[in-house]
A and B are shown apart, each in its own frame.
Chain A
Amino acid sequence: MPRWRPDASLATLKARAELCGSVRAFFMARGVLEVETPILSAHATVDRFIESFSTVDGRWLQTSPEFAMKRLLAAGSGPIFQIARVFRLEEQGRHHNPEFTMLEWYRPGFSMQQLMDEVEALMRALVGGAGGFQRLSYRDAFLRHAGFDPHSADATQMRAAAMAAELISAADFANEPAGFWLDLWMSRVVSPALGAAQPAFVYDFPASQAALAQVRQGPPPVAERFELFWRGIELANGFHELADAKEQRGRFEADQRYRCAAEQVVPPYDAHLIAALEAGLPDCSGVALGLDRVLMLKLGLSDLAQTLAFAADRA
């Protein structure tokens, strides 16, 4: 195929436009306000495993519209949604493109379970289907598909299990922390087994993977965070949002120290977000959903590039 040609077919581009139209209709009917926030920012995520593009003038391309949308919530916006283009350095593969379309929305007053209900209702509106989505705790998902308890297994045990399952060879990854093994088991074994027919939610993540979610005290303490999987592919990530400014600053600073020790880029965290949390973020839950992946699965395509007018290698 000549390199100037689009990756997506015209039929797929029409389906993409219809998908975005259905999203807007869904939220308009529920009284959720559509907003637009800047793609370029003076701040960036400091998440240990998400890399931002930087610009020649020292700014950053967003990896999610989360910080700006929380500032709107703190300013009293009420429920809001956004269909945003986001950018992540070095993320490229069959299910990844360095820029992609993220639907993100926030619901003041919603618990994590209430927001999962709404994600399910939206998915019904977008792709149809009947019957409830499965809901599994992170622990149950691991017990069922990996065969160990993720809250009690240590790095040595998870590495031994990975060798027994032939995920790695004997010489590999001798000194990785428990978090590495949870991610490896999740991406190689647990998530591929999730949502084979109907999409499935996984909730109550280990507190070490709280990101921007509230931690509910244990035992064991768990992050009020959920993800949605369909046919083994991660579609959405949601939080009962952390509203404590001091705790949020502490997490940002810990991530910066980790990045510094690992000799990674250390971007400035969003000081405006901390100020907004200090001013008061309403108790809320929020979620981000990868629209390109939803389109890919809805249309039965095998490769994310087939949903994009021009994927990264011909953009």
Chain B
Amino acid sequence: MATVSTNEMKSGTKVLVDGEPYSVVDNEYRKPGKGQATNSIKIRNLKNGRVIERTLKSGDTWEVADIEEIDMQYLYSDGEFWHFMNPTSFEQVQAGATAVADCSKWLKGEEACKVLFFNGIPLSVTPPNYVTLTITETDPGLRGDTSGSGGKPATLETGAVVRVPLFVQQGEVIKVDTRTGDYLGRVGK
């Protein structure tokens, strides 16, 4: 099993700690002039995103986590699994609900996603930063209000609900930032 020493742990290094995959966020070397050196290492759990801090003696090692991120195209969902294709090799993989999680609400088909594999199994899926989707349901806006202040909820064709300005109407196509869920604007047809 490949291991990585404290002095090789950089931001982004993937490590296996207590059987869980983590990504190194920060690594601070501390040493009293005449004393034991330690590293305080902040790591992010790649399954749940939680950041924890662990202390190691300098020179100690962790196992390297078998983590790979691949750009893949979303194909379809059969209700139980979400299917993705590697556009280079045309290889297809299926990801379960835990891996897809919140990402599924932005996917209708053909989106270029990033799939993170842990030991060859999809661990998480990141949607494109921006998606363009049709509003399937929203209340009619109040007449005369074009300021966009306050806004109203709108349901998109994939099921996601975002806040849109009052003047935006059902049937319109909008651009959304998937990282924040923010409405960015209407897309002309």
Contacts and interface: CB of A to CB of B under 8 A. Distances in A.
A167 interface: yes
Contact of B32 (A92, A172, A187): A187
B32 A167 contact: no
Interface in A182-218: 182-184, 186-188, 191, 209, 211
B189 interface: no
Given A93-B28, A184-B55, A47 B38 contact: no
A186 B32 contact: yes
B34 A96 contact: no
B34 A209 contact: yes
A175 to B, nearest CB: 12
Contacts of A179: 35-36
Contacts of B28: 93-94
Residue from A47, A179, A182, A183 whose CB has the most chain B CB atoms within 10 Å: A183
Contacts of B55: 167-168, 172-173, 184, 188
Given A167-B55, A168-B55, A172-B55, A93 B29 contact: yes
A187 B34 contact: no
Interface string B31-67: 1111111101000000000001111001100000000
Residues of B in contact with A, size category = 20 to 34
A152 interface: no
Nearest to A234: B33
A4 interface: no
Contacts of B34: 47, 49-50, 209, 211, 237
Contacts of B29: 91-96
A191 B32 contact: yes
Nearest to A236: B33
Interface string B54-90: 1100110000000000000000000000000000000
Interface in B16-36: 18, 28-36
Interface string A228-242: 000000100100000
A93 B30 contact: yes
Contacts of B59: 90
A168 B31 CA distance: 16
Residue from B36, B38, B52, B54 whose CB has the most chain A CB atoms within 10 Å: B36
Contacts of A50: 34
B26 to A, nearest CB: 11
Contacts of A187: 30-32, 35, 38
B7 interface: yes
B7 A92 contact: yes
A49 B34 CA distance: 6
A90 B58 contact: yes
A203 B33 CA distance: 14
A209 B7 contact: no
B32 A96 contact: no
Nearest to B18: A171
Nearest to A235: B33
B33 A237 contact: yes
A187 B40 CA distance: 11
A227 interface: yes
A59 to B, nearest CB: 23
Contacts of A209: 34-35
B31 A169 contact: no
A237 B52 CA distance: 33
Nearest to A210: B34
A188 B54 contact: no
B29 to A, nearest CB: 3
Given A187-B30, A187-B38, A227-B33, 17 more contacts: A47-B34, A90-B58, A90-B59, A91-B29, A91-B37, A92-B29, A94-B28, A94-B29, A166-B53, A167-B55, A172-B55, A179-B36, A183-B32, A184-B38, A187-B32, A188-B55, A234-B32
16 contacts: A49-B35, A50-B34, A91-B29, A93-B29, A93-B30, A93-B31, A167-B55, A169-B54, A171-B18, A182-B35, A187-B35, A188-B40, A188-B55, A234-B32, A234-B33, A237-B34
The 6 closest A-B pairs by CB, nearest first: A93-B29, A183-B35, A187-B30, A183-B36, A237-B33, A168-B55
Interface of A: 47, 49-50, 90-96, 166-169, 171-173, 179-180, 182-184, 186-188, 191, 209, 211, 227, 234, 237
